[in-house]
Structure 1
Amino acid sequence: MTNTSIFKESPFKTQISFHKLIESLEEIALSDIDYRSQYAKSLLNEIEAFPEFKTGIDDLRVIEKNKTLIKYLLADLFPTALTKNEIKAVTIPFQNFTFNFSDRFTRILDEAGIDFDMTIRDFDEDQMYILSCILILNTYYKKNFEISKPLFYDIPTNKGIIKHYRILYNADFIEITPTPTAPNLTAADIDLLMDNYDNIELWKEKFPVESWSLKGFGILSLFDATTESAISNLKSNLLKADNETNNSDSFETIFRSIFKIPDLKVGLIMYNEEENKFTKPPFNNNQISSYILHDQEETVNCQQAFFGCSLTNLLEQQKPFTISDVAKFSNQPENEALGTHLIKQNIKSCIFAPVLKNNKLLGILELVSEQTGQLNSINANNLDLLLPYVIDTLERYNIDLKNQIEAVIQREYTAIHASVYWKFKNEAQKYFHTSSPTNQYIFKEIVFKEVYPLYGQIDIKGSSQHRNDTVKEDLKNQLQSVLTIFEHLKSSSPLSLLEQRKFEMQSYYNELEAELKADTEQQIQNYVQKEIHPILKNTRVDHDGQNLIDQYFTELDSKTGLFYHARKKFDDAMSIINKKMAYVIDKEQIEAQKIFPHYFERFKTDGVEHNLYIGATITPTQTFEMMYLNNLRLWQLQTLCKMELEHHRLKSILPYELDVTSLILVFSSPLSIRFRMDEKRFDVDGTYNARYEVVKKRIDKANIKGTQERITQKEKITIVYSHQYEEAEYLKYIKFLQFKKILEPTIEKFDIEELQGVSGLKALRIKVINTDSNNDKYTYHELLTELN
């Protein structure tokens, strides 16, 4: 008898009683069938000393003391011939109280161990209370409320395998009656309960604790539903989102239940059809891994994946490949590599099963055991139950991955910013609603009218000249290195051709003293590869000469065949600056979007440029006011200050010293932007608006009017504008940031030289204070407070 976890609260005041069974025996005792009558009379005579068997047992110790007699009393319900097969016991439904177990039930509990607590899976005390109330509604009030959810016990074996048993209750020998404290339920009460299954307080109000009498006993029957339950659990696990997916232990527990192999382990590899490679599963650490790939790289070529072993069944016939004895398998020469690989992982039997959908390989499921013969071609048939769910999961993963890749491509490689995504989405929805095989939908152009542009850039000063200088330095060093080698070769080789080549290389070297021409680098590259390298590779030289040649070839870039030292330092410095500047503005953009949602894009060239567009048409769900534009302009100026400071901090660690210049273009007239379908990006729309684009392309190379001085200078921000009111607005921002010790006191004002088709531009120029003291951001409202 188990009585370890009887629920503390129940609508029932329970009495174990065999009165219905005893009444049945009394009828049999009066029957004409002699052997049945004698048996019943004898049994009734035995239990006569225990009137509580009929009136009701309150003290559960009575059951324990008289369990043999009770077994005889229940003999018709628990036939001896079936006791080793049936899993039965006497119980009170929905309470953890059982006794009079069949032999098979007893063996199952003995294997589970003394610490096993036999509780119903996924059912708490509240649920049990409600189910007891429903039993009252169905028996006393003659309702027919069905709960089809199956109830399970999960019981371990002595080998550690979890087995799942479906629970069935027989309540034929139970009598349910109300006590004086039981409320009499109306139809309205029952309707209310019907609509509030999860409201435990309501159920306890209508069915107070111990307000009903339960007299009698129930019969608990179990049947082994391990396979069906394990498959259901597998399906539930595989349907979970990636961040909810259980680790490999959960999957292995399920597979162990089905295969009845305690040490079974599960692995998986995915197949990448485009690259013809197997890859490890896309799960986190400690989750499903791979025993085929094991500690290899994340991807491996299919031709190498099985170590040269011929797995015809697996890849060609698309059938599971089983090895029941890995040691025996590895003794065959063609299988030695795979066998050794498995033995190193202490794998002694295994199954590798292809996961296929429409004859298309999605991956390979791996089952392995450390016991010889545990996995074989016979129990491989169990995979027929499991593979459909694995197939659906891998197919779903591939679809989800494809969608995520498309999302990344859209986010990282196209100009569809989150602020305007809604309009593209609306147009796409129209396509799905109206397009058909006979009605081809024509996509409308995406246009946003009456938006205000903001443009800014932080540019690497003199990048083209620095690039040319580093290219020249590498070319000169390479030519000088070859000339040094040729000087050594001249003493050990009679080739008169060496003098000719030395003369030609010296001529190229002299050319590099002048301005670098567009094709000089290509000419020298072709010359060195076709004329010089063959000599260095084919000429016999002494030990010292060979060392010089070997050292020379180690310094060549593998892609260009040229020296790549000075240029690499320049490229690395450029990359560091661009990444840092892009990181700063991207991070600041998160806060800027809170000012008012707006369109944002940036480009990394020889520096970082950015475009912003703000207006009511971009965010029609919010009311746009000019204050948001002013706030965004202040944000832009502050962000460029921060980028200037970040560059100043970077300068000391750069492999090549580079300065930057910053520029803001002010344009107060609203314009329209149109998404260019051919270029997959936004651009300004209309002839008048094109003036804005012209200015953007030419302004950073412009000079101060009447001078040869560029309008941009290192460590300074240049603000280009056209109108007096724009100057007044930005002077407010500048004075505010000067007050905050971000900008220096000096403000330069000047006119800009006339550009082609553009005249009348003016500029302000201010220097950023190169200290780390103040990096806070300030809002437009703070500015107004300070000025007032």
Structure 2
Amino acid sequence: MTHQFFTESPFKTMISFHKLIEALEEISISDVDYRANYAKALLKEIEPFPEFRTGIEDLNLIYDNEILIKNLLADLFPTALTNNEIKAVTIPFQNFTFNYTERFKKIVQQAGIAFDMSIRNLDEHQFYIMSCTLILNQFYGQNIDYNNPLFYDIPSENGVMNQYRILYNADFLEIQPTDNVNPISQDDIDLLMDNCDDIALWKEKFPVNSWTLKGFGIAILFDATTESAISNLKSNLLKPEIELITLQDNFESIFRSIFKNPNLKVGMIIYDEEQDKFVKTTYNNDESSGSFILSAEGEINCNNEFFGCSFEKLLKDKKPLSIANVENFALVPGNEKLGQHLLKQNIQSCIFCPIVKNDVILGIIELVSPNKRELSSLNARKLDLIIPYLIDTTERHNLDKQNQIEAIIQREYTAIHPSVYWKFRQEALQYFETKRQNKDYIFKEIVFKEVFPLYGQIDIKGSSEHRNKTVKEDLKKQLSTVIEIFENHGSDTNILLLEQRKFELKSLLDQLNLPLKADTEQQIQLYIQNEIHPVLKNAENGAAEKSYFDSLDEKSGLYYHARKQFDNALSIINKKLAGVLDEKQTEAQNIFPHYYERFKTDGIEHNLYIGSSIAPMKAFDIMYLHNLRLWQLQTLCEMEMEHHQLKSSLPYELDVTSLILVFSSPISIRFRMDEKRFDVDGTYNARYEVVKKRIDKANIKGTMERITEEEKITIVYSHNSERIEYLNYIKFLQFKNIVEPVIEEFEVEELQGVSGLKAIRVKVQNNNFDQNIKKYSYEDLLNELH
């Protein structure tokens, strides 16, 4: 054990027994002879050591005179109590002690020579300020309570960490100023009180070694292991689960301290009432720190016979199950499976304690030991101190889990975009406050007025034609395969039936050379399943039949080859492009908070709404709308480039077309409670939705050519100001070599209820994909144009 002092202190410390010597001198002149003679004898013994009175600076003097000092301190350290009390002489707050009681000596010896008996969580900063507060209290009449409970963490002989609370007796200490003391005013004291972290200030007011601390203190310890461990347990249980992962070892050491058992291991399982099963907690999936009941299993039904009769009693009575000898437990009929399961993990004694609230089991705490009889019903009672905190933690765990599930459902299925979440929260808070007052509350509609819409899509070109083509291809292949199988069964006894089926199959095959009708696929599949498959299954199980059935899709039972390639290609494109859009959208929110939603169909559609009502705490300027329009155009260019790179590697090659609809008039959007989504509000704004739904299938006026074309972006607008704005964007992107030089302009054919639309079309420079595409802001564009 080292005797390391803190390097800096406001005190110049001198170990002295002067107050004790003065007390002995008073006793020596008393009328009680035996006390007086005893005091005189002690005073004579210490007479050769004037340092005992004036102050000891050489610590070797203490070590060389241990017996004399022990006799000098005999009244303070009674021999009759030496095996019971944990006490020693010390300099307060420092790692220096001597004159131990026998019990203290034993504790220190068991800790080992490597043990350093320093005070827990006391650093030099705290020590310095604590010393200064002693001066303020004693010399300046203050009543400052700076001291926190102080503890020694001392390991026992078997490795269990015990916690000892430290109490100081300072009756034999005195504080004296030196010539280096700085005068302290009340203003100085007030300044110090408000700046406990400014160590430089404290050292300025109380310079190092400016005061003398003369005498000695007595450190009195009592074993607070259980109380301290429970306190640490509470602190750990209050931490979020992400920290519990890293605190598992500490969690186990706390239980070892409470049970005084270095071999103890701890596990826990949670009860899922909804599914009547036990599951591992979310922070103990690792086998080494998980559940000993579940072991490698992630969950188990509560009615499983694995638990046996004893565990069933635990679940029924909700009382702890203590097994002092697992080998004997495993011999009891009904307990064999659980007993053997525990023995395989080298568990010889254990306690399984239910965590119960409102007569419902929330989980099971598991304590296990590799030694027999270390855990039993006798020490199981210690869990009574812990279970209340575990109840709160388990309940919080279950609540957090439910909240996370709700959050996942909201995020993945009924998400409310962060830009408008504040208004939903505001309405929910209003409902919550009203409900607390037992009042009826009618939810207000969520409406955002005067917002500017932006709509864009990147669509699979000719997706319906491609889908029909793959359907025909699969059906033709399936019909041809079945016809071939039937033709190879020419000698079958049911030859007339086979001829009839072949005729019907060939008729269906001829139908596929005509345009595909809405019900053609369904009719052919029903015919094959009802008329053909029974014949093939009743025939001899030949290689051709086996190969045919193996080629069918397991889930649908259909021939699903060309369609699968098309569906996979569509899914890959949608996933990739949606990922690009979502990633860029996160950046776009920095322009100005705005509402964003996207949809996967045969391609990707997105809606953006920007305006002051979306983010009322920020000043809105029309520049933010222009910035977002430029961002949208650049993002569609990048999505086109991504698809161009992706196209050659697709299982089914598909082209895409891109479209932007420009709408400069502000509109209102309302949250539709029945549909759980936003939609435009009012008949005045309906024109925008009509255009959105009809524009992508429109043709160039006076032709049969679609306004959209592969690898090109089409921008549909109504007003000349919009044309000028987007031509400036395009010229800027041309300058940056993102789009090609040619600009097409044309009128859009009249749509039902919509006329006067015009469009700009420009091709994306796909050969520049490998370059690092920089996103340019609206300010960049203005700088280039001016």
Q: What TM-score range do you get, normalising by the shorter chain?
A: over 0.9
Provide the aligned C-alpha RMSD in A: 2.6
Aligned 1:129-144 pairs, distance under 5 A: 129-144=128-143
Q: Which segment drifts farther, 406-415 or 556-565? A: 406-415
1:752 partnered with 2:748: yes
> Residues 547 and 231 (structure 1 numbering): CA distance in 2 closer, same or farther, change over 3 Å?
farther
| Partner SS for 2:696 | helix
2:703 is aligned to 707
| Partner SS for 2:693 | helix
Query: Which of residues 610, 624, 627 in structure 2 aligns to 1:628?
Result: 624
Query: Which of residues 776, 780, 786 in structure 1 aligns to 2:784?
Result: 786
**C-alpha separation in 2, matches of 1:31 and 1:15:** 30
Equivalent pair of 1:663/1:720 in contact (CA under 8 Å): yes
Aligned 1:182-581 pairs, distance under 5 A: 182-245=181-244, 246-283=246-283, 288-296=289-297, 298-304=298-304, 306=306, 311-332=311-332, 334-414=334-414, 416-436=416-436, 438-487=438-487, 491=491, 494=494, 497-537=497-537, 539=538, 541=540, 545-581=541-577
**C-alpha separation in 2, matches of 1:250 and 1:129:** 30
Q: Which segment drifts farther, 222-231 or 243-252? A: 243-252
**C-alpha separation in 2, matches of 1:554 and 1:320:** 55
Q: Which segment drifts farther, 477-486 or 753-762? A: 477-486
> Residues 84 and 504 (structure 1 numbering): CA distance in 2 closer, same or farther, change over 3 Å?
farther
**C-alpha separation in 2, matches of 1:274 and 1:512:** 52
> Residues 739 and 141 (structure 1 numbering): CA distance in 2 closer, same or farther, change over 3 Å?
closer
- CA shift, 1:307, in A, is 6.3
> Residues 68 and 606 (structure 1 numbering): CA distance in 2 closer, same or farther, change over 3 Å?
same
Q: Which segment drifts farther, 44-53 or 245-254? A: 44-53
> Residues 769 and 45 (structure 1 numbering): CA distance in 2 closer, same or farther, change over 3 Å?
same
1:611 is aligned to 607
Name the amino acid aligned to 2:552: L
Equivalent pair of 1:292/1:306 in contact (CA under 8 Å): no
Query: Which of residues 585, 597, 602 in structure 2 aligns to 1:589?
Result: 585
Aligned 1:690-729 pairs, distance under 5 A: 690-729=686-725
> Residues 279 and 653 (structure 1 numbering): CA distance in 2 closer, same or farther, change over 3 Å?
farther
1:73 is aligned to 72
Spell out, residue by residue over 1:331-367, the C-alpha distance to the aligned partner (whole angstroms, 9 max, x if none): 4564444344334433333333333332333333222
| Partner SS for 1:4 | coil
2:641 is aligned to 645
Spell out, residue by residue over 1:565-592, the C-alpha distance to the aligned partner (whole angstroms, 9 max, x if none): 2222221111111111111111111221
Name the amino acid aligned to 2:290: S
> Residues 432 and 515 (structure 1 numbering): CA distance in 2 closer, same or farther, change over 3 Å?
same
| Partner SS for 1:96 | coil
Name the amino acid aligned to 1:387: I
**C-alpha separation in 1, matches of 2:409 and 2:193:** 50
Name the amino acid aligned to 2:349: S
1:680 is aligned to 676
Spell out, residue by residue over 1:707-766, the C-alpha distance to the aligned partner (whole angstroms, 9 max, x if none): 222211211111111122222221222222222222122222222211111111111222
Name the amino acid aligned to 2:775: K
> Residues 149 and 659 (structure 1 numbering): CA distance in 2 closer, same or farther, change over 3 Å?
same
Q: Which segment drifts farther, 760-769 or 508-517? A: 508-517
**C-alpha separation in 2, matches of 1:764 and 1:325:** 85
> Residues 563 and 779 (structure 1 numbering): CA distance in 2 closer, same or farther, change over 3 Å?
same
**C-alpha separation in 2, matches of 1:571 and 1:458:** 17
Name the amino acid aligned to 2:294: L
- CA shift, 1:222, in A, is 0.7
**C-alpha separation in 2, matches of 1:43 and 1:532:** 117
Equivalent pair of 1:140/1:177 in contact (CA under 8 Å): no
**C-alpha separation in 1, matches of 2:521 and 2:277:** 39
| Partner SS for 2:386 | helix
- CA shift, 1:214, in A, is 1.9
1:6 is aligned to 5
> Residues 365 and 549 (structure 1 numbering): CA distance in 2 closer, same or farther, change over 3 Å?
farther
Spell out, residue by residue over 1:407-430, the C-alpha distance to the aligned partner (whole angstroms, 9 max, x if none): 343333335222222222232333
| Partner SS for 2:418 | coil
1:93 is aligned to 92
Q: Which segment drifts farther, 732-741 or 79-88? A: 732-741
Name the amino acid aligned to 1:659: D
| Partner SS for 2:165 | strand
**C-alpha separation in 2, matches of 1:653 and 1:365:** 54
> Residues 46 and 278 (structure 1 numbering): CA distance in 2 closer, same or farther, change over 3 Å?
same
- CA shift, 1:309, in A, is 7.0
- CA shift, 1:608, in A, is 0.5
Name the amino acid aligned to 1:647: H
> Residues 640 and 21 (structure 1 numbering): CA distance in 2 closer, same or farther, change over 3 Å?
same
**C-alpha separation in 1, matches of 2:431 and 2:535:** 65
Equivalent pair of 2:451/2:613 in contact (CA under 8 Å): yes
Q: Which segment drifts farther, 216-225 or 21-30? A: 21-30
| Partner SS for 1:62 | helix
Spell out, residue by residue over 1:498-538, the C-alpha distance to the aligned partner (whole angstroms, 9 max, x if none): 5554444444444333333333333444444444444444x
Name the amino acid aligned to 2:18: H
Name the amino acid aligned to 2:712: K
**C-alpha separation in 2, matches of 1:555 and 1:391:** 55
Equivalent pair of 1:167/1:220 in contact (CA under 8 Å): yes
Spell out, residue by residue over 1:355-401, the C-alpha distance to the aligned partner (whole angstroms, 9 max, x if none): 33323333332222233332333222222222222221222222233
> Residues 491 and 47 (structure 1 numbering): CA distance in 2 closer, same or farther, change over 3 Å?
farther
- CA shift, 1:299, in A, is 4.2
Equivalent pair of 1:483/1:505 in contact (CA under 8 Å): yes
**C-alpha separation in 2, matches of 1:523 and 1:330:** 63
**C-alpha separation in 1, matches of 2:81 and 2:445:** 78
| Partner SS for 1:595 | coil
Q: Unpaired segments of 5 or more residues in structure 1?
A: none
- CA shift, 1:617, in A, is 2.0
Equivalent pair of 1:230/1:257 in contact (CA under 8 Å): yes
1:26 partnered with 2:25: yes
**C-alpha separation in 1, matches of 2:284 and 2:635:** 37
**C-alpha separation in 2, matches of 1:585 and 1:47:** 88
**C-alpha separation in 2, matches of 1:787 and 1:188:** 64
- CA shift, 1:250, in A, is 1.1
Equivalent pair of 1:278/1:305 in contact (CA under 8 Å): no
Equivalent pair of 2:133/2:146 in contact (CA under 8 Å): no
Aligned 1:163-178 pairs, distance under 5 A: 163-178=162-177
> Residues 766 and 191 (structure 1 numbering): CA distance in 2 closer, same or farther, change over 3 Å?
closer
- CA shift, 1:460, in A, is 0.9
Spell out, residue by residue over 1:111-131, the C-alpha distance to the aligned partner (whole angstroms, 9 max, x if none): 111111111111101211221
